[in-house]
Structure 1
Amino acid sequence: MKVAVQNLPLPSKYAKIIEWGKLITITGSAQLIIQVIGFLSAIIVIRLLPTKEYALYTLANTMLGTMILLADGGVSTGVMSQGGKIWMDREKLGLVIATGLDLRKKLAIGSLLVAVPILLYLLLHHGASWLMASLITLSLIPAFFMSLSGTLLEVAPKLKQDIAPLQKIQVGTNVLRLILVGLTIFSFPWAYIAVLASGLPQIWANLQLRKSSYKYARFDQPADPLITKEILSFVKKILPGAIYYCASGQITIWLISIFGSTTAVAQVGALGRLVMVLGLFNVLFSTLISPRFARLANDKRILLGNYIKIQIVLFALMALIITIVWLFPAPILWILGPAYANLKNEMVLNIAGSCVALIAGSSFSLYTHRGWAIKPIILIPLSIAAIAVSASLIDISTLHGILLLNIYVAGFEAIMHVLFSLIMINKIKVKTHGITE
Structure 2
Amino acid sequence: MISWFSLHANRARLYRWITILGSFAAVQLLVQALNAAAGFLLVRTMEKPDYAWFTIANGMSAALSILSDSGVGIAVTSIGGTLWEDRASLKGLVHAALRLRLKLAAVSSAFIAGISLWLLLRSGAGLPSAFGLTALVLAPVWQVSTTAVFSIVNRLHSRNRQLQVADLVPAIIRASLTAALALLGGLSPVSALGAVVIAQLTQYGIVRRQVLALLGEGAPQDVEGYTARIWKMVHQYLPSIIFWCLQGQLTTWLISVFASTREVADFGALNRLGIIFVVFGGPLGQFFMPSFARTSDRRRLWKMAVLLVACTVAFNAVLLFFAWWQGRWFLWLLGFKYTHLQQELLLVLTGMAILNLSAIVWAMNNARAWIRRVWISIPVTLGSQVLAAPLFDLGSVKGVACFVIVSGAVQCCYAFTVCGLGLTCPERVHAG
TM-score range, shorter chain: 0.7 to 0.9
Letter in 2 for 1:182: A
Given the alignment, which residue of 181, 189, 205 partners 1:191?
189
Given the alignment, which residue of 197, 206, 211 partners 2:204?
206
Given the alignment, which residue of 168, 171, 191 partners 1:171?
168
Structure with the higher fraction of residues in helix conformation: 2
Matches within 5 A, 1:341-420: 341-368=339-366, 373=371, 378-420=376-418
Asked if the contact 1:78/1:371 (under 8 Å) is kept, the reply is no
Distance (whole Å) between structure 1 residues aligned to residue 224 and residue 304 of structure 2: 35
Pair 1:315 & 2:309 matched: no
Asked if the contact 1:157/1:213 (under 8 Å) is kept, the reply is yes
Distance (whole Å) between structure 2 residues aligned to residue 172 and residue 252 of structure 1: 31
Asked if the contact 2:240/2:375 (under 8 Å) is kept, the reply is no
Q: Relative to structure 1, is the Cα distance of residues 343 and 287 closer, same or farther in structure 2, using a 3 angstrom cutoff? A: same
Distance (whole Å) between structure 2 residues aligned to residue 361 and residue 91 of structure 1: 36
Deviation at 1:182, TM superposition (A): 2.5
Given the alignment, which residue of 23, 29, 38 partners 1:26?
23
Deviation at 1:128, TM superposition (A): 1.3
Q: Relative to structure 1, is the Cα distance of residues 302 and 203 closer, same or farther in structure 2, using a 3 angstrom cutoff? A: farther
Match of 2:79 in 1: 82
User: Residue 124 of structure 2 aligns to a residue in which SS?
Assistant: coil
Deviation at 1:226, TM superposition (A): 3.2
Deviation at 1:363, TM superposition (A): 3.8
Matches within 5 A, 1:34-113: 34-87=31-84, 91-113=88-110
User: Residue 252 of structure 2 aligns to a residue in which SS?
Assistant: helix
Matches within 5 A, 1:213-292: 213=211, 221=220, 224-290=223-289
Distance (whole Å) between structure 2 residues aligned to residue 170 and residue 393 of structure 1: 42
Q: Relative to structure 1, is the Cα distance of residues 318 and 416 closer, same or farther in structure 2, using a 3 angstrom cutoff? A: same
User: Residue 188 of structure 1 aligns to a residue in which SS?
Assistant: coil
Asked if the contact 1:77/1:368 (under 8 Å) is kept, the reply is no
Asked if the contact 1:38/1:178 (under 8 Å) is kept, the reply is yes
Letter in 2 for 1:314: T
User: Residue 10 of structure 1 aligns to a residue in which SS?
Assistant: helix
Q: Relative to structure 1, is the Cα distance of residues 245 and 6 closer, same or farther in structure 2, using a 3 angstrom cutoff? A: closer
Asked if the contact 1:383/1:413 (under 8 Å) is kept, the reply is yes
Q: Relative to structure 1, is the Cα distance of residues 282 and 65 closer, same or farther in structure 2, using a 3 angstrom cutoff? A: farther
Asked if the contact 1:349/1:403 (under 8 Å) is kept, the reply is yes
Distance (whole Å) between structure 2 residues aligned to residue 131 and residue 262 of structure 1: 18
Match of 1:147 in 2: 144
Q: Relative to structure 1, is the Cα distance of residues 236 and 304 closer, same or farther in structure 2, using a 3 angstrom cutoff? A: farther
Distance (whole Å) between structure 2 residues aligned to residue 303 and residue 84 of structure 1: 24
Pair 1:8 & 2:8 matched: yes
Letter in 1 for 2:318: L
Asked if the contact 2:44/2:333 (under 8 Å) is kept, the reply is no
Distance (whole Å) between structure 2 residues aligned to residue 156 and residue 281 of structure 1: 26
Distance (whole Å) between structure 1 residues aligned to residue 386 and residue 121 of structure 2: 27
Distance (whole Å) between structure 1 residues aligned to residue 284 and residue 80 of structure 2: 18
User: Residue 275 of structure 1 aligns to a residue in which SS?
Assistant: helix
Asked if the contact 2:60/2:116 (under 8 Å) is kept, the reply is yes
User: Residue 221 of structure 1 aligns to a residue in which SS?
Assistant: coil
Letter in 2 for 1:125: R
Structure 1: gaps spanning 5 or more residues: 430-437
Asked if the contact 1:84/1:291 (under 8 Å) is kept, the reply is no
Asked if the contact 2:380/2:410 (under 8 Å) is kept, the reply is no
Asked if the contact 2:377/2:411 (under 8 Å) is kept, the reply is no
Distance (whole Å) between structure 2 residues aligned to residue 347 and residue 7 of structure 1: 53
Deviation at 1:412, TM superposition (A): 1.9
Match of 1:433 in 2: none
Q: Relative to structure 1, is the Cα distance of residues 408 and 82 closer, same or farther in structure 2, using a 3 angstrom cutoff? A: farther
Q: Relative to structure 1, is the Cα distance of residues 20 and 322 closer, same or farther in structure 2, using a 3 angstrom cutoff? A: farther
1:264-303 deviation per Cα after TM superposition (whole angstroms, max 9, x unaligned): 0000111111221222234334444456666x37887776
User: Residue 97 of structure 2 aligns to a residue in which SS?
Assistant: helix
Deviation at 1:33, TM superposition (A): 1.5
Q: Relative to structure 1, is the Cα distance of residues 6 and 20 closer, same or farther in structure 2, using a 3 angstrom cutoff? A: closer
Letter in 2 for 1:382: V
Q: Which moved more, 1:88-97 or 1:381-390?
A: 88-97
1:141-165 deviation per Cα after TM superposition (whole angstroms, max 9, x unaligned): 2443333222222223334443233
Asked if the contact 2:388/2:406 (under 8 Å) is kept, the reply is yes
Distance (whole Å) between structure 1 residues aligned to residue 107 and residue 195 of structure 2: 25
Identity %: 24
Letter in 2 for 1:387: Q
Q: Which moved more, 1:28-37 or 1:49-58?
A: 28-37
Distance (whole Å) between structure 2 residues aligned to residue 308 and residue 73 of structure 1: 31
TM-score of the two chains, using structure 1 as the length reference:
0.85
Distance (whole Å) between structure 2 residues aligned to residue 180 and residue 278 of structure 1: 25
